[in-house]
Structure 1
Amino acid sequence: MASNDKQSDTTHFGFQQVPAAEKAARVGQVFRSVAGKYDLMNDLMSMGLHRLWKRQAINIANIRRGQRILDLASGTGDLARLMARKVGPQGKVILSDINEAMLNRGRARLVDDGVVGNVDFVIANAEYLPFPDNYFDRVTIAFGLRNVTRKEVALAEMRRVIKPGGCVIVLEFSQLYLKPLQPLYDLYSFQVLPRMGQLVADDADSYRYLAESIRMHPDQEGLKGLMEEAGLEDCEYFNLSGGVVAVHRGYKY
Structure 2
Amino acid sequence: MNLTQEMSKVEVKGFEAKFYDRLMDIITFGYYPFFIRKAIKDLNLQKGQRILDFGAGTGRNALLMHRYVGDEGEIVGLEIGKEMQEQFLRNCNAYQNIKLENLRIDSPLPFNEEFDVVFISFVLHGFIQDKRDIIIQNAYNALKPHGTFAILDYANFDVDKAPWYVRFPIQKVECPLAQDFIERDTKKMLESFGFENFEESFYFGGYVRLLKAKRWK
Q: TM-score range by the shorter chain?
A: 0.7 to 0.9
What is the CA distance between 1:87 and its match in structure 2?
1.3
Instruction: Tell me, in whole angstroms, the C-alpha distance in 2 between the residues paired with 1:228 and 1:135.
Output: 21
The CA RMSD measured in Å over matched residues stands at 2.8
Q: Secondary structure at the match of 1:116?
A: coil
Instruction: Tell me, in whole angstroms, the C-alpha distance in 1 between the residues paired with 2:28 and 2:156.
Output: 16
What is the CA distance between 1:51 and its match in structure 2?
2.5
Deviations, residues 197-225 of structure 1 (Å, cap 9, x unaligned): xxxxxxxxxxx3x3644323234x61111
Task: Give aligned pairs, total.
Answer: 214
Deviations, residues 35-81 of structure 1 (Å, cap 9, x unaligned): 01211221122223333332233233221111111111111112100
**Residue 82 (1) aligns with residue 45 (2):** no
From 179, 182, 185, the equivalent of 1:215 is 179
Tell me which amino acid in the other structure corresponds to 1:241: F
C-alpha distance 37-157 of structure 1, shift in aligned 2 (>3 A): same
**Residue 242 (1) aligns with residue 192 (2):** no
Q: Is the 8 A contact 1:68 1:92 kept in 2?
A: yes
Instruction: Tell me, in whole angstroms, the C-alpha distance in 2 between the residues paired with 1:117 and 1:225.
Output: 38
What is the CA distance between 1:27 and its match in structure 2?
4.6
Q: Is the 8 A contact 2:7 2:177 kept in 1?
A: no
Q: Is the 8 A contact 1:80 1:93 kept in 2?
A: yes
Tell me which amino acid in the other structure corresponds to 1:166: G
**Residue 127 (1) aligns with residue 79 (2):** no
Which residue is equivalent to 2:115?
136
Which residue is equivalent to 1:233?
196
Instruction: Tell me, in whole angstroms, the C-alpha distance in 1 between the residues paired with 2:121 and 2:211.
Output: 10
The structure whose residues are more often helix, as a share, is 1
Query: Which consecutive residues of structure 2, in runs of 5 or more, have no partner in the other structure?
Result: none
TM-score, with length taken from structure 1: 0.73
Q: Secondary structure at the match of 1:41?
A: helix
Tell me which amino acid in the other structure corresponds to 1:184: Y
Q: Is the 8 A contact 1:233 1:250 kept in 2?
A: yes
Which residue is equivalent to 1:156?
137
Deviations, residues 78-108 of structure 1 (Å, cap 9, x unaligned): 2100112221112110111132221222222
Structure ID, larger Rg: 1
Instruction: Tell me, in whole angstroms, the C-alpha distance in 1 between the residues paired with 2:175 and 2:109.
Output: 30
**Residue 73 (1) aligns with residue 55 (2):** yes
Q: Is the 8 A contact 2:55 2:123 kept in 1?
A: yes
Deviations, residues 96-146 of structure 1 (Å, cap 9, x unaligned): 1132221222222223xxx41111101111123533311001000111111
Q: Is the 8 A contact 1:126 1:148 kept in 2?
A: no
